Chains A and B, each alone.
Chain A
Amino acid sequence: MRNFMIKMSLAALVVAVSAPVAMAAPSGTSGVSGSAGLGIDVGANIAASGSGDPYLSVPPGGQADGTLGGPVAGLIDKFSKKEDDK
């Protein structure tokens, strides 16, 4: 319960801190000339991260019981149950 409260506080803090930063940050370039604005130059950040391969979010050794795991743990639970049902 204590861990849950700490995590919820952290999530609220993340949103509270990031929203004003994102709202206040200036925009300088057109972003549509050349490759800028197409997302190509940060595409590799995305492809290498959990967006590109969700396996990165799975704990080494596999999803342990009792861990939250996030959306990918949801996929594991959902589709491993489906296989069990067969």
Chain B
Amino acid sequence: MKGKNKAVLVTGALMLASAPAWAQSNTAASTAASDMKGFAAPALQAPVAYGARWGTVGVGAYGQTCNCNKQNEDGSVGLAFGLGDPDKYAALEVAVSSSSLFGDTGSGDSFGDAGSVGLKLHTNVPGYASFAVGVNGTGKWGSDNFKKANPASVYAVATKMVPVGQYAAILNLGIGDELYNEPNKDGAGVFGSAAFYFTQQISVLAEYTGRFTNAGVSVAPFRSFPLTVTLGASNLGKRYGGDVEFAGSIGMGFAFN
């Protein structure tokens, strides 16, 4: 009997001792998840179905080499913010971009002279998936050449995270017109991307934009800081008489409580 009492005491003591440890480990796990702010991107040029929500703001820049002006390179910078909650009903992402950063030697527009607005209505659904419909290149300002060369492009897209063993992938499929379709062709083209995530901070991606096949690597260098850098090669198929070009983007997000 005495031995039995001792066993109960020891078991109780162990339970008491382990309880704080269990609670601590759970707290650590949730802290670790909420501390995740650096995520690699799943695409370089293709739109995805999730986006900014109320309380989040993003800034970004995109650039690539090209045969489009005397400097053989061009870029654009943008700002995006969200309205609404995609977990409850839907959110609208509004992105404003300034184009032709080096365009003064090509299109006649220089920094701030030309730009456009992108709108994306997106919602989350169960199974780590999202749906969105959007338009890029609307609300343009700038020279007539710029406006004519950048038609508004409407798209619909679905994106889903898929576990792959101990890793993960984000798959993305959409349809869209204009920039997401063959040149001089009416109707819609298909675009899509697939990104394999080694960790949430490193991905390798391949995509087809409806015109170009691209491949790249995306890295979020800091786990607790929302900065994403994506580098890749565009037009791998050397379509439309063009060369393979170097392309890159950098994006940073902010969340306000």
Query: With A32-B242, A59-B55, A80-B32 in contact, is A40–B128 under 8 Å at CB?
Result: no
A residues in contact with B76, CB < 8 Å: 40-44, 47
Query: With A27-B183, A31-B179 in contact, is A8–B106 under 8 Å at CB?
Result: no
Q: State the Cβ distance, A14 to closest chain B Cβ, in Å.
A: 5
Q: How far is B36's CA from A76's CA once the two chains are assembled, in angstroms?
A: 7
Please tell me if the beta carbons of A34 and B106 are within 8 angstroms of each other in the complex.
Answer: yes
Q: How far is B242's CA from A35's CA once the two chains are assembled, in angstroms?
A: 11
Q: State the Cβ distance, A60 to closest chain B Cβ, in Å.
A: 4
Query: With A47-B251, A70-B50, A78-B168 in contact, is A35–B68 under 8 Å at CB?
Result: yes
B residues in contact with A79, CB < 8 Å: 36, 168, 197, 199-200
Please tell me if the beta carbons of B42 and A38 are within 8 angstroms of each other in the complex.
Answer: no
Which B residue's beta carbon lies closest to that of A84? B29
Which A residue's beta carbon lies closest to that of B117? A45
Which B residue's beta carbon lies closest to that of A53? B251
Please tell me if the beta carbons of B184 and A48 are within 8 angstroms of each other in the complex.
Answer: no
State which of B2-10, B12-20, B222-230 sits at the interface with chain A. B222-230
Please tell me if the beta carbons of A55 and B156 are within 8 angstroms of each other in the complex.
Answer: no
Please tell me if the beta carbons of B177 and A43 are within 8 angstroms of each other in the complex.
Answer: no
Which A residue's beta carbon lies closest to that of B227? A53
CB contact list, A72-86 vs B, under 8 A: 72-80, 82-84
B110 within 8 A of A: no
B221 within 8 A of A: no
What is the total number of residues of chain B having a CB less than 8 Å from a CB of chain A? 130
Judged by DSSP, the binding face of A is helix
A residues in contact with B99, CB < 8 Å: 40-42, 44
A residues in contact with B43, CB < 8 Å: 46, 51
B residues in contact with A47, CB < 8 Å: 60-62, 76-78, 249-251
Please tell me if the beta carbons of B86 and A40 are within 8 angstroms of each other in the complex.
Answer: no
Q: How far is B44's CA from A21's CA once the two chains are assembled, in angstroms?
A: 25
Query: With A8-B125, A50-B51 in contact, is A42–B150 under 8 Å at CB?
Result: yes
5 new A-B contacts at CB < 8 Å, known A22-B176, A39-B212, A46-B60: A14-B121, A40-B62, A43-B63, A51-B48, A69-B128
25 A-B Cβ contacts within 8 A?
Answer: A10-B123, A11-B131, A14-B131, A14-B156, A27-B186, A35-B69, A35-B103, A42-B99, A42-B153, A43-B62, A43-B64, A45-B136, A47-B61, A47-B77, A47-B251, A49-B51, A50-B93, A51-B48, A52-B230, A52-B251, A69-B128, A70-B124, A71-B129, A73-B128, A76-B33
Residues of chain B at the chain A interface (Cβ within 8 Å): 29, 32-34, 36-53, 55-64, 66, 68-69, 74-80, 82, 85-90, 93, 95, 97-100, 103, 106-107, 114, 116-118, 120-121, 123-126, 128-133, 136-137, 145-146, 148-151, 153-156, 159-161, 163, 166, 168, 170, 175-179, 181, 183-188, 197, 199-200, 209, 211-212, 226-228, 230, 234-235, 240-242, 245, 247, 249-253, 255-257
